[in-house]
A and B are shown apart, each in its own frame.
Chain A
Amino acid sequence: MAMRRNILVALLFILFIIEGTIIPWLVPDAWQTRIVPHLVYIVILFVAVYGHRHTALVLGLIFGMIHDVVFYGQIIGTYSFAMGLSSYLMGLIFQAPRAPLPVMMTVVLLGSLLFDGILHALYTLFHLTDESFDFAFVDHMLPNLVIHFVFALVIYVPLRRQLEMLYRRRRASREDKA
């Protein structure tokens, strides 16, 4: 079980590396700033729904912080805060081990909007951007939303199976002790 958990963390790490190195080559030039998918965050959303919201919170904080530190332009903490808070909130509302596909997709759509919304609010708060919410929404939040949705559909079956195995065993062992 510890093995499986390690694989989950390794998967998140590899996704983080792919986000920064391979995705920019796949996105067409004109769409470079418009499609900025947060693949790590989507996997964390799956953990929030099928696993536990506290795990999702910690994963979100850690991987957000790594992103902040590696791509440190002006400020540290925005990604960490946005990822941690939004995955915790989505877990708090939707956490259900038996959630079917439509519910999970709703979580991905809402979560993606929430994440980009928090990021935009933070950058506006610190005067790091002066684009309006309407512009940001059409410019990169909507394209991101579509990419996130497609990515979630692709990983839904394998990831859910793995997470269910991971958490069913943990829940069973907890019941044995009780």
Chain B
Amino acid sequence: MLELFKLLGNKRLFILLMGLVLFIGLMGFTIGPRTTLSWPEKFTRDTIGFVQYVFYRPAGYIAGFFEDISTLRSLYEENEQLKTALAHYTRDKAKYNYIEQENERLKNDLHFTEEQRNKYNYEYRIAQVVSVNNDPNNRTLVIDLGARDGVKQNMSVTSAEGLVGIVSQVSNFTSTVKLLTSMDAKDPNSKAIAATALGKENDSFGMIESYDQASGTFIMTKIKETDPLQKGDTIVSSGIGGVFPRGMVIGTVVSRQVGDFGLTNTAQIKPAADFSDWKELFVVFTPEVKE
């Protein structure tokens, strides 16, 4: 026993142990849900965010220039595809306008409140990526919108292709986006996405809870056996969970099989966003809910 106390008399060992305890305390404290950051954290993030912004944009331009040269050949093909897509859009637009007006009329007839009307009226605000952390365990981005611009924790962030992640921490001028690839069913702070298939919104439902690093796909669970979901469907968020807004494109179904316990089915979803070459992203502002 006495020898044990003598061991504690060793200054170096004592400092080492204190450091260990301190760090475990720090990690335990920061892993829980934190709503605001302390001012040293905000200060560090904003100053370094500014410096990173100066570096990231020119690098992006140069990389983009070389990419443009390499894709020059496929430009003609892409143009052809876009023309077809545009023709589809103009046709759909006529249909959409008609449905929207009818929807408006019905809402009026049913006396919808202002809040109910604006529920799905999202605002997309463009944000520039400032820096990227590709650590597979903690993939994050820093964007140049912060608390000053009204960004709040847990807002969804999408690229032009599809849902990318959610805002994990906000400081005054920058905020950190946690990418969907770090979703994990076991992590209590990770938020699952209630999802459905495009065109089958009323019949299809499942939860996207985790990302499989090895195959590079999201795992969608809790799909009913009678669900019409099939390979090739586009998966969008259903907005039921409350965190993710409605209608965010997530990906396409690669395969569907019977789940772990045989009661429900599981599907693998290939992400729509390609999670590389980050430039502009959109933060989705949902309308304020009055308390």
Point out residues on A near B: beta carbons under 8 Å: 17-18, 20-22, 24-27, 29, 32-36, 66-67, 69-78, 80-81, 84, 119-120, 122-123, 126-131, 135-136, 139-140
Q: How far is the CB of A125 from chain B (nearest CB, A)?
A: 9
CB pair A72–B41 under 8 Å, yes or no, is: yes
A18 with B44: CB separation less than 8 A: no
6 other A-B residue contacts (CB within 8 Å) besides A72-B168, A77-B26? A25-B60, A70-B176, A72-B41, A74-B31, A128-B182, A130-B184
Give Cα distance in the complex from A133 to B45, angstroms. Answer: 31
State the majority secondary structure of interface residues on B.
mixed
- Cβ of B120 within 8 Å of any chain A Cβ, yes or no, is no
Q: How far is the CA of A135 from the CA of B278 in the complex (A)?
A: 26
Neighbouring B residues of A72 by C-beta, 8 Å: 30, 37, 41, 45, 140, 168-169, 176
The residue among B19, B133, B140 with the most chain A CB atoms within 10 A of its own CB is: B133
**Once the chains bind, are A127 and B186 in contact (CB under 8 Å)?**
yes
**Could you tell me the dominant secondary structure of chain A's interface residues?**
helix
- Asked whether A71 lies within 8 Å of B137 as measured between CB atoms, the reply is no
21 contacts between A and B (CB under 8 A): A20-B56, A20-B132, A22-B56, A24-B132, A29-B274, A36-B133, A69-B44, A70-B49, A71-B131, A72-B169, A73-B169, A73-B178, A74-B189, A75-B30, A75-B31, A77-B26, A77-B27, A128-B31, A128-B138, A139-B136, A139-B213
The answer for the CA separation of A169 and B30 in the assembled complex, in Å, is: 42
Closest to B22 in A: A77
Query: Shortest Cβ distance from B22 into chain A, in angstroms?
Result: 9
Residue among B44, B134, B140 making CB contact with A27, cutoff 8 Å: B134
Tally of contacts, chain A with chain B, CB under 8 A = 145
List the 6 closest A-B pairs by CB distance, nearest first: A20-B131, A71-B133, A76-B30, A21-B56, A21-B55, A25-B63
Q: A20-B131, A36-B134, A74-B168 are in contact. Are A69 and B45 (CB under 8 A)?
A: yes
Nearest-neighbour CB distance to chain A for B213, whole angstroms, equals 6
Are A71 and B176 in touch, CB under 8 angstroms? yes
| Bound CA–CA A78/B55 (angstroms) | 26
Chain B residues, CB < 8 A from A140 = 136
- Residue in A21, A26, A126, A136 with the greatest tally of chain B CB atoms within 10 Å: A21
**Complex CA–CA separation, A25 to B277 (angstroms):** 7
Chain B positions 201-225 with a Cβ under 8 Å from a chain A Cβ: 213-214
0/1 string, B260-281, CB within 8 A of A gives 1: 0000000000000011111000
Bound form: Cα–Cα A33–B132 in Å: 11
- Chain A residues lying within 8 Å of B63, measured Cβ to Cβ, are 25-26
Is A74 in contact with B187, judged by CB distance below 8 angstroms? yes
Nearest chain A CB to B57 CB, angstrom units:
9
Expressed in whole angstroms, the minimum distance between the Cβ of B179 and any Cβ of chain A is 8
Binary contact track B59-74/A, C-beta < 8 Å → 1, others 0: 1101100000000000
Chain A residues, Cβ within 8 Å of B27:
75-78, 81, 122, 126
Chain A residues within an 8 Å CB radius of B59: 21-22, 25
Near A by CB (< 8 A), chain B positions 130-150 give 130-140, 142
Q: Is the CB of A128 within 8 A of B187?
A: yes
Report A154 CB to chain B, min CB distance, Å: 19
Task: Tell me the complex Cα distance, A106–B235, Å.
Answer: 48
Nearest Cβ on chain A to B143's Cβ, whole angstroms: 12
Cβ-based interface call for B172 (8 A): no
B14 interfacial contact with A, CB 8 Å: no
Contact A17 B52 (CB under 8 A): yes
> B89 contacts which chain A residues (CB < 8 A)?
none
B124 in the interface, Cβ–Cβ < 8 Å?
A: no
- B278 CB to closest chain A CB, in angstroms? 7
Residues of B within 8 Å of A78, CB to CB, are 27, 138
Distance in Å from the Cβ of A129 to the closest Cβ of chain B?
A: 5
B23 proximal to A (CB < 8 A)? yes
Residues 84-114 of chain B, each 1 if its beta carbon lies under 8 Å from chain A, else 0 = 0000000000000000000000000000000
Asked if B48 is at the interface of the complex by the 8 Å CB criterion, the answer is yes
B51 at the interface (CB under 8 A from A): yes
Contact of B168 among A24, A26, A73, A84 (CB under 8 A): A73
